[in-house]
């Protein structure tokens, strides 16, 4: 007989960080739904959420996902230093919170996996979570769409070593020991006005001086580069129109209380129903496949 008794003290959680305001509540629920749906049976999750003004309905939507698979969730309220609010009006200061993870997360956490809310996770996060960090302050994926010119303008000669910060495994131990937060704030001051991708640029400048760890590109894939069965995290990078793979995003949104994302015109469920109905009149397999593709339905 096998025992189903789980000792919670010893549960090996995969700890995931999100920063989210009310505008992106449905996106975060979608990301979490995808994590839960594609997890391995022995994965356990604890989500750490920096609450930048989430309303009750958003909190309820997260809670409701526990019905599909139990998980733990901890919310944080975090104040940014005043100096960061005036730094660049093109960006919402929300992007800065994750830089302070080593300060507001409990000391008992040695590392955290920070994910953007515009990602969809297509496999278990275990392998990424277990990446050996050794002394590196982060592990991340090269940003394929960053130009060489831009990299050089912030002192990064080889663009392979400019990473995207949407999927970031952070070594909190190193962050605390080396006061990475303090150094990032110095960089932000030093480069004021020249950081087009504020927090991401600052992280990369720090990395160019102190090193970091590159991980497989499959962990942070732009929809244009999606490969079925290979891509492990899709990152929509803010784009909501004219990118492939929106059907994948919508299919996970359909698993949440929201059912669809704010910019979806027709509900995914309705589209699927309509597509199923129309397929009745198509006899060739190829035609049915094309119809599904055109309607963006899986
Ligand atoms: Mn993003």
pLDDT, one tens digit per residue, over 50-102 is 999 999 999 999 999 999 999 999 999 999 988 887 776 666 778 899 999 99
Q: Give the chain's mean pLDDT.
A: 91
In a domain, 149, yes or no: yes
Q: How far apart are CA 262 and CA 233, in angstroms?
A: 21
Q: Is residue 152 part of a domain?
A: yes
Cβ(43)–Cβ(125) under 8 Å? yes
Query: What pLDDT, in 10s, does the model give residues 161-207?
Result: 999 999 999 999 999 999 999 999 999 999 988 888 889 999 999 99
100 is a domain residue: yes
Residue 265 lies in a domain: no
Q: Is the pLDDT reported for residue 272 higher than 60?
A: yes
Q: Is residue 86 a contact partner of residue 59, using CB atoms and an 8 Å limit?
A: no
Q: Which of 3-7, 85-89, 221-225, 274-278 has the lowest mean pLDDT?
A: 3-7
Q: Tell me how far the alpha carbon of residue 2 lies from the centroid of ligand 1, in angstroms.
A: 43
CA of 234 to the centre of ligand 1 (A): 10
Please report, for the domain that includes residue 212, its CATH number.
3.90.550.10
How many Å lie between the centroid of ligand 1 and the Cα of residue 293? 25
Using the mean position of ligand 1's atoms as its centre, give its distance from the Cα of residue 167 in Å: 8
Whether residue 249 is contained in a domain is answered as no
pLDDT on residue 20: 96
The answer to whether residue 293 is domain-embedded is no
> Alpha carbon of 267 to those of 15, 235, 295, 296: distances in Å?
32, 22, 12, 12
User: What is the distance in A from the centroid of ligand 1 to the CA of 143?
Assistant: 12
Residue whose structure tokens are 């492939």:
244
> Ligand 1 centroid to 280 CA: how many Å?
39
**Residue 174 is assigned to a structural domain of this protein:** yes
For residue 1, name the pLDDT band (cuts at 50, 70, 90).
Answer: very low
Q: Domain containing 31: what range?
A: 10-219
Domains held by the chain: number: 1
Asked whether residue 205 is assigned to any structural domain, the reply reads yes
Distances (CA, A) of 180 to 37, 78, 258: 34, 18, 37
Q: What is the CA(282)–ligand 1 centre distance, in A?
A: 39
pLDDT tens for 211-226 read 999 999 999 999 999 9
């Amino acid at each position: 007989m096998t025992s189903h008794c789980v000792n919670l003290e010893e549960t090996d959680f995969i700890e995931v960080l999100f920063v989210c305001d009310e505008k992106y509540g449905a996106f975060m629920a979608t990301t979490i739904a995808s994590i839960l749906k594609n997890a391995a049976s022995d994965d356990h999750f604890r989500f750490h959420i920096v609450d930048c003004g989430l309303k009750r309905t958003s909190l309820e939507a997260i809670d409701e996902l526990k019905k599909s698979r139990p998980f733990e969730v901890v919310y944080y309220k975090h104040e940014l230093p005043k100096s960061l609010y005036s730094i660049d009006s093109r960006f919402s200061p929300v992007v800065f919170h994750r830089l302070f993870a080593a300060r507001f997360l409990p000391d008992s956490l040695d590392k955290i996996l920070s994910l953007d809310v515009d990602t969809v996770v297509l496999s278990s996060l275990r392998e990424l979570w277990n990446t050996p960090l050794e002394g590196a302050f982060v592990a991340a994926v090269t940003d394929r769409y960053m130009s060489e010119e831009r990299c050089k303008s912030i002192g990064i000669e080889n663009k392979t070593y400019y990473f995207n910060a949407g999927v970031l495994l952070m070594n909190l131990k190193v962050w605390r020991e080396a006061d990475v937060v303090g150094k990032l704030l110095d960089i932000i001051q030093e480069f004021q006005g020249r950081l087009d991708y504020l927090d991401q640029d600052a992280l990369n400048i720090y990395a160019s001086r102190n090193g970091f760890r590159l991980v497989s590109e499959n962990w942070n894939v732009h929809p244009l580069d999606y490969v079925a069965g290979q891509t492990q995290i899709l990152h929509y990078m803010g784009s909501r129109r004219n990118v492939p793979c929106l059907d994948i995003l919508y299919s996970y949104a359909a698993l949440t209380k929201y059912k669809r994302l704010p910019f979806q015109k027709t509900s995914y469920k309705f589209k699927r129903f309509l597509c199923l109905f129309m397929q009745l009149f198509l006899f060739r397999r190829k035609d049915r496949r094309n119809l599904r593709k055109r309607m963006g339905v899986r």
